């Protein structure tokens, strides 16, 4: 009986591994296809996009050098880095402070504010993008500094939700001990509480970094072509009458995703640790 159960268990594991492997291949295949085509000429990509580069179609690094020059990649990289770093820093700091206050406070207003943040998580950006663009223009937020405030507004909902779950797992006695030792609420937060929130803070930073770095719609609507981020710069590879040099496009896409892939693999373990820790109490 045990042998039958063991064989059934092993068979189930094998089937699960096969299914998950197939799903993984489906997700990775488009990236590999883009990578292969980034080394091929434009006409060869259009004629046979699934073929491996050969002696005739292989272009070496020509697509990369020409694509980087055509998009002003390094200039766009600078704007993407600026917007991502400062937006994520603001989201982490202000979300942590907000979550700590509304979690520790017993006011009905704070409880209502928490549910407002939860509700904001399900509001799609497409619902508010046109009014947002108009308001951003009126308030002169249509610049690299102003867009930081907009990202702060959009990123706070999920971030406050994650921080709140983690704050509930921090013993209140820690804060009381800090106050007894002479800390004010502000110094207690920055010297005692915030260091304890570091696992979930790293998780929030990772999630928002991947979102902001890859975001196309918001920068395109708010700051447009004057301050191009990488996703916005890529679309300017389109030529007249909708023509696109697909070799350049594939090469620039690979260059755009490399930083975020490296960042993700370097920090991925913190995502699971932070989310798990933040779900202890909720």
pLDDT single digits (tens) 212-243: 998 888 898 888 777 889 888 888 776 555 56
pLDDT band with cut points at 50, 70 and 90 for residue 87: very high
Tokens for 222, please give them.
């708010």
Mean pLDDT of 42-54: 83
Is the pLDDT at 277 greater than 70, yes or no?
no
Is the pLDDT at 74 greater than 80, yes or no?
yes
Is residue 223 within 8 Å of residue 142, measured between CB atoms? yes
What is the structure's pLDDT at 279?
A: 46
Report the range out of 150-154, 169-173, 266-270 with the highest average pLDDT.
150-154
Burial class (CB in 10 A: 0-12, 13-18, 19+), 215: buried
pLDDT band with cut points at 50, 70 and 90 for residue 148: very high
Question: Which among 156, 60, 175, 172 has a CA at the least distance from the CA of 116?
Answer: 156
The whole-angstrom distance between residue 182's C-alpha and the CA centroid of its chain comes to 39
Q: What is the residue whose two structure tokens read 């896409």?
A: 253
Is the pLDDT at 145 greater than 60, yes or no?
yes
Mean pLDDT of 42-60: 83
The residue extents of the domains of the chain are 2-37, 62-278
Mean pLDDT of 87-105: 92
pLDDT band with cut points at 50, 70 and 90 for residue 281: very low
Mean pLDDT of 168-186: 83
The CATH homologous superfamily of the domain defined by 62-278? MetI-like (1.10.3720.10)
Mean pLDDT of 177-198: 85
pLDDT band with cut points at 50, 70 and 90 for residue 97: very high
What is the structure's pLDDT at 225?
A: 74
Q: What percent of the chain has pLDDT over 90?
A: 14
pTM, full prediction: 0.82
């Amino acid at each position: 009986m045990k042998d039958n159960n063991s064989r059934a268990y092993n068979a189930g594991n094998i089937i699960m591994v096969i299914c998950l492997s197939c799903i993984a291949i489906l997700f990775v295949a488009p990236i590999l296809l883009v990578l292969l085509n980034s080394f091929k000429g434009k006409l060869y990509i259009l004629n046979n996009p699934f073929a491996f580069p050969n002696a005739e179609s292989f272009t070496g690094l020509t697509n990369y050098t020409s694509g980087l020059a055509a998009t002003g990649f390094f200039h766009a990289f600078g704007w993407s880095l600026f917007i991502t770093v400062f937006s994520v820093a603001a989201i982490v700091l202000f979300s942590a402070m907000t979550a700590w206050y509304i979690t520790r406070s017993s006011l009905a207003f704070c409880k209502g504010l928490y549910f407002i943040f939860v509700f904001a998580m399900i509001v799609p950006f497409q619902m508010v993008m046109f009014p947002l663009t108009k308001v951003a223009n009126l308030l002169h937020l249509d610049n690299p500094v102003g867009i930081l405030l907009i990202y702060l507004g959009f990123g706070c909902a999920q971030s406050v939700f994650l921080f709140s779950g983690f704050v509930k797992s921090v013993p209140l006695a820690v804060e009381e001990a800090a106050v007894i030792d002479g800390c004010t609420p502000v110094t207690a937060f920055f010297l005692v509480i915030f260091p304890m929130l570091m696992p979930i803070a790293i998780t929030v930073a990772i999630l928002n970094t991947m979102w902001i770095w890859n975001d196309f719609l918001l920068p395109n609507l708010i700051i447009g072509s004057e301050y191009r981020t990488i996703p916005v710069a890529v679309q300017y590879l389109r030529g007249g009458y909708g023509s696109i040099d697909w070799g350049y496009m594939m090469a620039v896409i690979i260059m755009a995703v490399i930083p975020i892939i490296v960042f993700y693999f370097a920090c991925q373990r913190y995502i699971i640790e932070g989310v798990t820790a933040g779900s202890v109490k909720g």
